[in-house]
Amino acid sequence: MAGYKPVAIQTYPVLGEKITQDTLYWNNYKTPVQIKEFGAVSKVDFSSQPPYNYAVTASSRIHIYGRYSQEPIKTFSRFKDTAYCATFRQDGRLLVAGSEDGGVQLFDISGRFEGHTKAVHSVDFTADKYHVVSGMFDARTNQSVISVEHGQPVESVLLFPSGGLLVSAGGRYVKVWDMLKGGQLLVSLKNHHKTVTCLCLSSSGQRLLSGSLDRKVKVYSTTSYKVVHSFDYTASILSLALAHEDETIVVGMTNGILTKKDLVPRRRRPAYRTFIKGKNYMKQQDDILINRPSKKHLELYDRDLKNFRISKALDRVLEPTCSIKTPEVTVSIIKELNRRGVLANALAGRDEKEISRVLNFLIRNLSQPRFAPVLINAAEIIIDIYLPVIGQSPVVDKKFLVLQGLVEKEIDYQRELLETLGMMDMLFATMTRKESTSVLQHNTSDEFLENNKIES
Amino acid sequence: MAAGGGGVADPLSPAGVPCAFSPQSQAYFALASTDGHLRVWETANNRLHQEYVPSAHLSGTCTCLAWAPARLQAKEGPQRKKRKSEAIGTSNQADLLALGTAVGSILLYSTVKGELHSKLISGGHDNRVNCIQWHQDNGCLYSCSDDKHIVEWNTQTCKVKCKWKGDNSSVSSLCISPDGKMLLSAGRTIKLWVLETKEVYRHFTGHATPVSSLTFTTIRPPNESQPFDGITGLYFLSGAVHDRLLNVWQVRSENKEKNAVMSFTVTDEPVFIDLTLSENKEEPVKLAVVCKDGQVHLFEHILNGYCKKPLTSNCTIQIATPGKGKKSTPKPIPILAAGFCSDKMSLLLVYGNWFQPTIERVALNSKEPHMCLIRDISNCWAPKVETAITKVRTPVMNSEAKVLVPGIPGHHAAVRPAPPQTKEVESKRKLGEKEVSIEERLGALDIATKKEKDDLPQTNSFPVLLTQGLESNDFEILNKVLQTRNLNLIKRTVLRMPLHAVIPLLQELTKRLQGHPNSAILMVQWLKCVLTVHASYLSTLPDLVPQLGTLYQLMESRVKTFQKLSHLHGKLILLITQVTASEKTKETTCPAQKAKLVYEEGKDLGHAFLAYCFHQDNWDEDEDEKASEKDEDVDEENEEEEGDDEDKDEENGEDRDVASEKELNGDSDLDPENESEEE
């Protein structure tokens, strides 16, 4: 007994927008939480130690926030003037911050004020605003080890964890320098149309993030240096930080708003077997695992088709829930009906409301090239069936008029495309002789076709 | 045109040119412009009431001004009566105006007399006076200055009553509590002083920049259960320089709460704030904020505790010139000040330029979130003749008297206003430029792009926008550029775009070509333009075929349906002509048919009946068809056949599609089919 084979739903990829691992990964954040600060947020820095608090520098204050609350845990407001660049030390116990008046202050995270000291590690790159040459200082020798020329005022500098690569942002450029080769310029990226203000590295070190005044954060792959994803924000971005394991993205903007996005926690349920046999169960050598055959579930339209209720099947896929969300299912069913030779029967015998639903679907999807061949057929069949009773319902007549307008536009558009194809053929023909021969054939056929059409 | 637009980029309209409405009825509007003139305008009929130039107006410009409260003047009335008889009958009129200057002196000007009443100098400030406040009841005057001190003056004796250090830096703003026992001052932090003992009662911190405005917003605490000691539970409002947020604070009994209770967002730095006090719990506070960008934002809020999110305005008012003809686009007119009328339902707007502001009363419509008033100010643009009267004295006003001043409507003098004292403007600017915030830098950027657009309308900036959009892959910018319908503009843009942006543009177009024909047809125009204009560049590319391969394939696959579509189109046209024709005939044929029947009836009844039957049969068949079609399993052979025929045709058609290379054959095949189907 041959089983019923469900209708294969063809999926058509949309050209241009590719869904990669990266887009999936970076889209996997919750809706942002906004926190209002007292001024433009110039720096956000995450502690590298649990509980992964982060310090936010805005105007003359530094707030320390926890991962989950929107209230500051701690506030440092001892600055006489604008504070800059509050950064955690590696162990997360000390906080260092520069200030407009030139001093560098060191805070104990438990709240005790330490007083003026020298910086313990080289954080305050951005403490003074205009480096034309960004300097790298060795903390032990206090001498400039290397200096590279960025070309624009440097807004932000980032050292790779290995210490071999340095990334600098300034103007509209992000530049990557090889430190081990003595400061050779490796890559220069220009993907923003306004000044790049901040840089950040993802936890794996595989992705580089840059924020810019053009309100975008772009994610680059550090192997290919291509943009793999980009985020949009509402205002110009001044600062950006990623939490441990990329769990949170915090972005500070010029309008004093701090935006925080949390990663949706990925939680896998334990398998069914775990519940039955326990967590530590291992398969014995002579055990044979028998998978129970999974039950096949037929879709409702498949069930209808199986029982030859063709009109009903078509009705089902023309329901707005299906026809709007997954037009490809509807189209596949129409195609299947056509293959069986019963499309006319399925389409026939409909009242005004139903036929206008079919026509609506046609109007919405006829212009899509992936559906066009099937739907044009369907349209012709509808016309043939309903020609005798045309003119009885003004609603349907109006739908036909809209359809006609659409088809007319599509024809105009395709005529334009044909002309453009001609142009491109010419271009390709001038390229090389080899390619030109093959392409010319296309050309002739196309032109022939066009001429024919015009004549007819 | 130039005059009308001049108000926008007027160098003389920096924020905070001191101005104020007279208290109580808002009958007058006092304005001290940067050229040192003090002008008092009548709000009712928009006339210049008085003009006064202080003797030291060049060395010490007016930095702030304040009207004396009306109650105080009523008290003072009899005193002045002894000296001058003309003051009778004007006791309820707003009179004294206190002016603070940049050198530290304070002038009291009497609008009734039209001359200087007294000077407060001795023992006062030795630096710029930042704010003056009158005490409501006892005739005292409080002033604060850049010299860090707050001074309490006795206006009767013109002597200093008390002087104390208010802050570690300059004190920028003052406000007296509704009951007159407390004083708010703002320097680096906001402080609340007890006036009797001059002790600090509370501290508030929160603004990064100097506070520019302070006002109490309520006169009663929100919860009336607790005994009211005159200050606890009151709300007040503060705005700061370079800050687009107005913070609301509450004076609490415990000293813990240090943050602002809530805040209002506006589009730019606030320059003028007016509000209606709420007297009870239910009545919302209405707030009108004039921003530096010339807009007015109206807020309406019941103050009841903490609110985390900044509140946005209920209503925004803008004023623009009417755009006449093609050349003049509407330009915004800056609003200078706004004040609530005493009925709380209408607003006095002062707009235009500082020399000749226009004052208008606008009724508030709380439902509309955005109001744009269109006003023509070009004809009342007032050139000020330099030899104009420097002091207009109108001691007693009767209704028939007409004041002739330059620039009232009807006087179209062609003289341009004299360039004002640039020296002072510069000095002011220098002050402002001490600390260039990022916002200002951004603002400067915006201005630069605006200018570019104005100089060369659009064509110049479109290529820039396009390349920017392509570089950062910004959807909005690209939409804006690519969705133009102007062919000429497209052509010029393509012509001027840099070569390196050509390939990204083609890739972007590839994405957009797959859409609805409505939008895609525009993209074809772009594509054609690119191909024609940059043909030579494209042909030099070594990897042209792989670059444009997807584009080519996409277009090719789309035009495959061209034949079928044309076919369908033909059918549709026929159908629609039938519909329209049948509609016409429906109206006309009904009587004609009747006539026919009647005609034949006379000849042969049976024949006519047959004809009638035939007619009905036809109709029945139709109905039968319908009925049968509604059933699931259709048995009618006719229909089956029809359907089969159709399917065969379609299969043929599909075959043709698959064998796309044999399109020639397909062509020849199709023609006979067409004929058969049309039969």
Q: Does B388 touch chain A (CB under 8 A)?
A: no
Looking at the predicted structure, is the pLDDT value of residue B565 above 80? yes
Q: Give residue A209's pLDDT.
A: 92
Concatenating the DSSP letter of every residue in B170-237 gives ---EEEE-TTSSEEEEESSSEEEEETTTTEEEEEE---SS-EEEEEE-BSS-S-TTSPP-SSTT-EEE
Residue in B520, B545, B647 nearest the CB of A413: B520
- Taken as a whole, chain B contains a residue count of 679
- Specify the 3-state DSSP secondary structure of A188: strand
- CB–CB of B330/B339 below 8 Å? no
Please provide the average confidence, as pLDDT, over all residues in chain B: 70
- Specify the 3-state DSSP secondary structure of B318: strand
Predicted confidence (pLDDT) per residue in B483-507, tens digit: 888 888 888 888 888 888 888 888 8
Q: Give residue A250's pLDDT.
A: 92
Q: Give residue B236's pLDDT.
A: 85
Q: Does A353 touch chain B (CB under 8 A)?
A: no
- CA distance to partner chain A, nearest, from residue B399 (Å): 52
Are A423 and B439 an interchain contact pair (Cβ–Cβ within 8 Å)? Answer: no
Looking at the predicted structure, is the pLDDT value of residue B646 above 60? no
Q: Which residues contact B583 (CB under 8 A, 6 or more apart)?
A: A391
Task: Give the span between the Cα atoms of B293 and B3, in whole angstroms.
Answer: 19
Predicted confidence (pLDDT) per residue in A356-409, tens digit: 889 999 998 888 888 888 899 899 998 888 888 877 888 888 888 899 999 999
The nearest alpha carbon in chain A to B476 belongs to A232
Predicted confidence (pLDDT) per residue in B227-251, tens digit: 666 677 788 888 888 888 888 888 8
Q: Does B650 touch chain A (CB under 8 A)?
A: yes
Q: CA-CA distances (angstroms) from residue A61 to A273, B253, B592?
A: 54, 26, 92
Task: Give the span between the Cα atoms of B374 and B220, in whole angstroms.
Answer: 39
Task: Give the span between the Cα atoms of A57 and A338, in whole angstroms.
Answer: 66
- CA distance to partner chain B, nearest, from residue A13 (Å): 12
Structural element, H or E, at residue A86: strand A83-88
- CA distance to partner chain B, nearest, from residue A349 (Å): 4
Using an 8 Å CB-CB cutoff, list chain B residues near A256.
245
- CB–CB of A37/A56 below 8 Å? yes
Q: Does A372 touch chain B (CB under 8 A)?
A: yes
The nearest alpha carbon in chain B to A340 belongs to B647
Predicted confidence (pLDDT) per residue in A68-102, tens digit: 888 888 888 877 778 877 888 777 777 877 777 76
Residue carrying structure tokens 């200093």: B160
Q: Does B613 touch chain A (CB under 8 A)?
A: no
Using an 8 Å CB-CB cutoff, list chain B residues near A387.
575, 578
Q: What is the DSSP letter of A127?
A: G
Q: Percentage of chain A surpassing pLDDT 70? A: 82
Which of B122, B123, B118, B163 is closest to B144 using CA atoms? Answer: B163
Q: Give residue B383's pLDDT.
A: 45
Looking at the predicted structure, is the pLDDT value of residue A21 above 50? yes
Q: Does B430 touch chain A (CB under 8 A)?
A: no
Q: Does B661 touch chain A (CB under 8 A)?
A: yes
Q: Point out the least confidently predicted range of A188-192, A256-260, A341-345, B123-127.
A: B123-127
Using an 8 Å CB-CB cutoff, list chain A residues near B550.
15
Confidence of residue A2 (pLDDT cuts 50, 70, 90): low
- CA distance to partner chain B, nearest, from residue A121 (Å): 27
Name the A residues in 413-442 with CB < 8 Å from any B CB.
413-421, 423-424, 427-428, 430-431, 435, 442
Residue in A227, A344, A397 nearest the CB of B642: A344
Task: Give the span between the Cα atoms of B63 and B128, in whole angstroms.
Answer: 8
- Specify the 3-state DSSP secondary structure of B653: helix
Q: Looking at residues B74-86, what average pLDDT do you find? A: 40
Confidence of residue A440 (pLDDT cuts 50, 70, 90): very low
Task: Give the span between the Cα atoms of A259 and A209, in whole angstroms.
Answer: 16
Higher pLDDT, A250 or B75: A250
Are B531 and A410 an interchain contact pair (Cβ–Cβ within 8 Å)? Answer: no
Which of A65, A241, A53, A256 is closest to B206 using CA atoms? Answer: A256
Predicted confidence (pLDDT) per residue in B515-547, tens digit: 788 888 888 889 989 988 888 888 888 888 888
Largest Cα span, chain A: 95
Are A369 and B558 an interchain contact pair (Cβ–Cβ within 8 Å)? Answer: yes
The nearest alpha carbon in chain B to A13 belongs to B514
- Taken as a whole, chain A contains a residue count of 456
Are B650 and A338 an interchain contact pair (Cβ–Cβ within 8 Å)? Answer: yes
Are B566 and A411 an interchain contact pair (Cβ–Cβ within 8 Å)? Answer: yes
Q: Give residue B445's pLDDT.
A: 63
Looking at the predicted structure, is the pLDDT value of residue B582 above 80? no
Confidence of residue B443 (pLDDT cuts 50, 70, 90): low
Higher pLDDT, A300 or B472: A300
What does the block give as tokens for A137?
């200082």
Q: Does A81 touch chain B (CB under 8 A)?
A: no
Looking at the predicted structure, is the pLDDT value of residue A447 above 80? no
Q: Point out the least confidently predicted range of A159-168, B312-321, B441-450.
A: B441-450
Predicted confidence (pLDDT) per residue in B172-183, tens digit: 888 888 888 888
Which of A446, A449, A450, A452 is closest to A426 using CA atoms? Answer: A446
Are A413 and B566 an interchain contact pair (Cβ–Cβ within 8 Å)? Answer: no
Name the A residues in 144-203 with CB < 8 Å from any B CB.
172, 190-193
Residue in A190, A345, A411 nearest the CB of B634: A345
Looking at the predicted structure, is the pLDDT value of residue A351 above 80? yes
Task: Give the span between the Cα atoms of B502 and B507, in whole angstroms.
Answer: 9
Please provide the average confidence, as pLDDT, over all residues in chain A: 79
Looking at the predicted structure, is the pLDDT value of residue B79 above 50? no
The sheet with strand A113-116 has its strands ordered as A83-88, A94-99, A104-108, A113-116
Residue in B471, B531, B561 nearest the CB of A420: B531
Q: Give residue B415's pLDDT.
A: 40
Kindly report the number of other CB atoms within 10 A of residue A205's CB atom.
Answer: 11
Task: Give the span between the Cα atoms of A410 and B520, in whole angstroms.
Answer: 9
Q: What is the DSSP letter of A29?
A: B
- CB–CB of A56/A252 below 8 Å? yes
What does the block give as tokens for B608?
């006519």
Residue in A348, A413, A418 nearest the CB of B639: A348
Residue in B309, B572, B643 nearest the CB of A400: B572
Are B571 and A414 an interchain contact pair (Cβ–Cβ within 8 Å)? Answer: no
Predicted confidence (pLDDT) per residue in A94-117, tens digit: 787 777 776 777 777 765 555 544
Which of A17, A11, A16 is closest to A371 using CA atoms? Answer: A11
Which of A383, A384, A337 is closest to A359 using CA atoms? Answer: A383
Residue carrying structure tokens 């026929």: B574
- CB–CB of A118/A77 below 8 Å? no
Predicted confidence (pLDDT) per residue in B280-334, tens digit: 667 778 888 888 888 888 888 877 777 778 888 888 888 887 776 555 677 788 8
The nearest alpha carbon in chain A to B438 belongs to A254
Greatest mean pLDDT range, A152-161, A213-222, B61-70, B201-210: A213-222
Residue in B309, B467, B643 nearest the CB of A341: B643
Task: Give the span between the Cα atoms of B16 and A367, in whole angstroms.
Answer: 58
Higher pLDDT, A244 or B12: A244
- CB–CB of A40/B438 below 8 Å? yes
- CB–CB of B66/B92 below 8 Å? no
Amino acid identity of residue A4, one-letter, is: Y
- CA distance to partner chain B, nearest, from residue A281 (Å): 52
The nearest alpha carbon in chain A to B241 belongs to A39
Amino acid identity of residue A246, one-letter, is: D
Using an 8 Å CB-CB cutoff, list chain B residues near A364.
none
Q: Give residue A211's pLDDT.
A: 92
Looking at the predicted structure, is the pLDDT value of residue A346 above 50? yes
Using an 8 Å CB-CB cutoff, list chain A residues near B528.
416, 419-420, 423
Residue carrying structure tokens 């330029």: B353
- CB–CB of B212/B240 below 8 Å? yes
Residue in A15, A212, A387 nearest the CB of B514: A15
Q: Give residue A22's pLDDT.
A: 83
The nearest alpha carbon in chain B to A58 belongs to B208
Name the A residues in 22-41 with CB < 8 Å from any B CB.
34, 36, 38-40
Kindly report the number of other CB atoms within 10 A of residue B332's CB atom.
Answer: 17
Question: Please, which residues bridge with residue B42 across strands?
Answer: B28, B47
Residue in B474, B518, B531 nearest the CB of A409: B518
- HEC sequence for B485-545: CCHHHHHHHHHHCCHHHHHHHHHHHHHHCCCCHHHHHHHHHHHHHHHHHCHHHHHHCCCHH
- CA distance to partner chain A, nearest, from residue B34 (Å): 30
Name the B residues in 346-365 with CB < 8 Å from any A CB.
none
Looking at the predicted structure, is the pLDDT value of residue A60 above 70? yes
Looking at the predicted structure, is the pLDDT value of residue B455 above 60? no
Distance linking the first and last C-alpha atoms of chain A: 53
Looking at the predicted structure, is the pLDDT value of residue A173 above 70? yes
Q: Give residue A251's pLDDT.
A: 92
* Domains located in chain B, CATH noted: 19-72+95-223+230-374 (2.130.10.10), 461-562 (no CATH)
Residue in B204, B238, B246, B561 to test binding to A, most A beta-carbons within 10 Å: B561
- CA distance to partner chain B, nearest, from residue A319 (Å): 18
Q: Give residue B638's pLDDT.
A: 43
The nearest alpha carbon in chain B to A215 belongs to B474
Q: Give residue B148's pLDDT.
A: 87
The ipTM assigned to this model is 0.73
Give Cα A153 to chain centroid, integer Å.
30
Q: Does B659 touch chain A (CB under 8 A)?
A: no
